[in-house]
Structure 1
Amino acid sequence: MTTTTEAMDGASALAPPSLSSRAKARMVSTLLIAPLVLFLTLVFVLPLGGMLVHAVENGEVGAALPGVAAEMRGWTGEGLPPESAYAALARDLKAAYGEPRLGEASRRLNYERSGYRALLTRTARSVRAVDRPQAGWAAELTAIDPRWGEPATWAALRRASPPLTPYYLLTALDLRMDDNGSIARAPAEERIYIDTLGRTLWIGFVTTLLCLVLGFPLAHALVSLPRGFASVLMVCVLLPFWTSLLVRTSAWIVVLQKEGVLNGLLTRLGIVDAPLELVFNRFGLYVAMVHILLPFMILPILSVMKGISPSYMRASASLGAHPAVGFLKVYLPMTLPGVGAGCLMTFIIGVGYYITPSLVGGARDQMTSYFIAYYANTTINWGLSSALGAILLACIMLLYATVGRLIGVGRIAGIQ
């Protein structure tokens, strides 16, 4: 009897957990990760979603001029609109005169066609004293300003009336929509964003490459050196994290400027006759960015290298492989997840830099983040700022997908 009872107890212990137990385990897991999900939603998902919405949002004209916006939806865009559109414009201008929404609509229309702000302000001021013009609103508005008799003026109003617009995204790609609704390249003097995006990606690529060239040997040294030396070297690697980004960047200005420490040393040693231009150019930008971003390259590679047993290299040597061949065919492939993670982190952080290029870079070294900050804080053009951010985000996601395809997302994340 005792034996039978013990057997039943053992069988129950080996039996799979019940459905209620699994449900409780899932509930506990969900509750544990809920704060993290909430945090990521608040600080990552919602801001990104808001940025993407602002990149296509276009409610200013519809809010200030609802009547004429409705008329524009029914107008084909050929020639001039009907008399009802002129009348709707007059009613909307009377209703919105003196309100902030008219200023917002004027600013939005001014993006489409220069001079629209003054045109709307002047027209709104003039139509207040007119109730029923004898010749009709088309003739009255044209008499106030002849531009109301030009199809291009109404075409701009028609493009700016829908609640969603491709204007900001097209502008961020140096494109524009002409009066016929066709997409064309912007004038040569206005094409700045694609060049800036290319410069941003190039600076990020070069910085990442330099960090990889410097960081891989340093990570290998941290694994190979005795513990005491490795600890000192690790302190040097982590030293940039102990000061703020602004302080680190300003320190490089002191070191690299014409009267700085480095130029003074080179001059005293007789290596150069005149101070070198080491700052406020691309060289100074690379030096400062590599110094700041190098730990982000070293640490992921180091974490992978620590998990690689030295026996692999000894085994390759025992099989007759040259150390260089063993390194290239055995050791290096096993470090690729760390290399991929380090390159991704370095590149993603680097292309978003704003303070460092502004302080140590030159006029031709400003990156996309400069224009994002300029339009968000100075001109309050959130649409274009969001569009530039969305284009940069798309480039980063494309890079992430490419690296993930080559190396594997799981290996980069360290879960495989």
Structure 2
Amino acid sequence: MRTGRLPGRHRRAVERQATYGEVIAIREFRALWAAQGLSLLGDQLAQVALAVLVYDRTHSPLATAAVYALTYLPSIAGGPLLSGLADRFARRGVMMACDVLRALLVAAMALPIMPFWALCVLVFFVVLLSAPFSAARAALLPEVLEGDRYVAGSALQNMTNQAVQMLGFAAGGAVIATMGPYRALALDAATFLASALILISGVRRRQAAARHDKPSMWTMTRAGARLVFGDRKLRTLVLFAWLCGFYILPEGIAAPYAARLYTGTLPVPVITGLLMAAMPTGTVLGAFLFSRFVTPSGRMRMMGWLAVLSCAPLVVTAMRPPLAVVIAAWVLSGIGGAYQLAANAAFVQCVPAERRGQAFGLVQSGLMAVQGVGILVGGFAAERVGPEPVVALAGVTGVTTAAVLAMIWTESRGDSSARVRAEATA
């Protein structure tokens, strides 16, 4: 009898869900949460300011788009290499150093005498420094939040990030119209300094996670790639994360899609804003529901189905529906994107603590690459066949890919369960 009750108590303990309240009660998480939100808000403001500044100087849409493209290139090219810094050195120190350096670079961008070529160079290095910062933060979070608290904290940060992005883009134009692009960039520099101060006061110092022999960055990068892509389960989780390239694509062609949906009732910029806000809104809602009302084991079982849901609603655009239906479909797609929480939690469990920085950096670089390439390909195709069939094709391709990944994930979970049972009976 006793052996029959113990597993039940164990399952109930494992299935216990963390609440947002107990996560927020942790001082170090509050510091990481506030620092991330503050920096992100400044970044959204800076992106709008930079676009206005470059266009005012050059009057060239191509130059404006080229500078925006620079926000993708550094993470793709330098992210895998620099992310290893989060494993070589103390992670809090890496984050603080990146914040201070970015504050200095953005402050230089805020100088009216800065020539255009120098502005491009500064943008490149500011974005480049975000790679080790993000890797260090992602690797540090599982040390601050254990068990299901990590999922609850990740959900809270995801919701905050989406809300900050919506707020930043919505209010950015008004703020820049009031204070001008140079002062907006100076404000962004101040947010980086404030982030560094929050980290030094709210996050305790920890030793570096890497070995004492300090292998070269290139050696660590190759080892990280072998770790992430050499293991079937990790490889599947990474591909789940990169699936976002399909369902993020519509946001990149929201403006031409809005022009197609224009009926004379709402201005095209308003329709564009509604379309771009739809998926982040769904993401916030999905993250809340998924983390609050689904058990940890239930999240793993639902991950494949939600991945399919993240792409399936996009298929409806092939029928050229009205604006309300398109917004509803994109919100539903954003809700499906909540599967990323489960994929992230599973990834953390599978990666050794001393290798997390490099592993997260590789995944993040891939995320930037698939989003950038997806948006470029989508824009190129939409120019020739229109936005509706492009979004629908992205949905069909994404559903097919997600279904294959879901089958692989189900099989790998079954293999892991069988192995655990075999070890328990041995």
Report the TM-score, using the length of structure 2 for normalisation.
Answer: 0.28
Report the TM-score, using the length of structure 1 for normalisation.
Answer: 0.29
Greater RCO (Cα-Cα under 8 Å, separation 6 or more): 2
Q: Which has the larger radius of gyration?
A: 1
Structure in which a larger fraction of residues adopt helix:
2
